[in-house]
Amino acid sequence: MEPILSINNISKSYGPIQALKNVSFDVPPGCVFGILGPNGSGKTTMLGILLDVLKADAGNYKWMNYDNAEDARRKIGALLETPNFYHYLSAMDNLKIAAAIKQLPADDRLDVLEKVNLTQRKDSKFQTYSLGMKQRLAIASALMGKPQVLVFDEPTNGLDPVGIAEIRELIRQLNGQGHTIIMASHLLDEVEKVCTHVAILKKGDLLLSGPVDEVLRSEDQIEISSYNAQQLLTTINAMPGIKDAKISMNTITLSCDKNISTADINRYCTEKGITLSHLLLKKKSLETKFMELTNN
């Protein structure tokens, strides 16, 4: 299946600061693709380049196999900044102005307001909206013109827990209606709950990309110890399926292949004449994995 977006060796610098360094990844159609990383990792710069707001210093990208970037942009709806509407106008009037600016017909205003659950407040002034409602109106504006792809930069930023839950559920619904969604976020929790695919950036470098359950797979670890820690370390390092063994305070922490169990470890050590005084399976959280990846 052809990717909806292909990014090839994109680089961008601001003076001595390199915001993106030869970043490449593909976005499959029909997914919710998260660009994840701490603040300053290059997420917003990447979205700016993809939407032709910024120019890359090197590399290229291609949307939906369109040779003409202008044709591709007609199929993309975007929300890159804080919602900017006229406070004294209603949702319907604000969307009419937004449609005129984008040179789109305004006849799908009711349809997009229904998609974001604002139909009942369509005639209310923008200034009476909660932050979550303002964000949903901004998403409604991005939906005008029936785009195939939606691009969001930190879509839940600044919202309270209720507003965050509303936007996350809306993203899932829009994806279910056939929209491919690309969103930048610094929140691991958001990507884990909403996204199907992810690219992780750190200071402009792409660390990993792919399906969320593969990229952010948590790795269980096993702790072991015995009377002679150095002998145990030498022995266990020779066991097939052991990927890494680190010793600290006479306790050895193991990273193993998925098919290695605590029983396998115990059996192997017993066969080698070593009695374990400590054997513990430690579940490794996604948050720990993300922190290790980004060195925070």
Q: Where are the domains of the chain?
A: 5-215, 221-294
One fold for 5-215 and 221-294? no
Which strands, in side-by-side order, build the sheet including 5-14?
17-27, 5-14, 58-63
Domain 221-294 in CATH 3.90.45.10? The answer is no
Phi, psi of 288 (to 5 degrees): -60, -45
Q: What is the spatial distance between Cα 169 and Cα 154, in angstroms, rounded to a whole number?
A: 15
Q: What is the spatial distance between Cα 235 and Cα 241, in angstroms, rounded to a whole number?
A: 13
- pTM (two decimals): 0.78
Class of domain 5-215: alpha beta
pLDDT (tens place) for every residue of the chain, 296 residues total = 789 999 999 999 999 999 999 999 999 999 999 999 888 899 999 999 999 889 999 999 999 877 777 778 889 999 987 778 999 999 999 999 999 988 888 889 999 999 999 999 999 999 999 989 999 999 999 999 999 999 999 999 888 999 899 999 999 999 999 999 999 998 888 888 899 999 999 999 998 899 988 877 666 789 999 999 999 999 999 999 998 899 988 899 998 887 888 999 999 999 999 999 999 988 666 666 677 666 65
**Residue 71, helix vs strand vs coil:** helix
Q: What is the spatial distance between Cα 116 and Cα 98, in angstroms, rounded to a whole number?
A: 16
Q: Are strands 32-36 and 58-63 parallel, antiparallel or unpaired?
A: unpaired
CA dihedral 66, 72, 175, 46 (to 10 degrees): 100
Q: Which residues face 246 on adjacent strands?
A: 253
Phi, psi of 92 (to 5 degrees): -60, -45
Concatenating the DSSP letter of every residue in 73-120 gives: HTTEEEE-SS----TTSBHHHHHHHHHHHTT--STTHHHHHHHTT-GG
Instruction: Please tell me the total number of residues recorded for the chain in this structure.
Output: 296
Mean pLDDT computed over every residue of the chain: 90
Q: What ranges in the chain are assigned the alpha helix state H?
A: 43-50, 69-73, 91-101, 109-115, 131-143, 161-176, 188-194, 212-215, 229-237, 262-271, 286-294
pLDDT value, residue 74: 85
pLDDT value, residue 197: 95
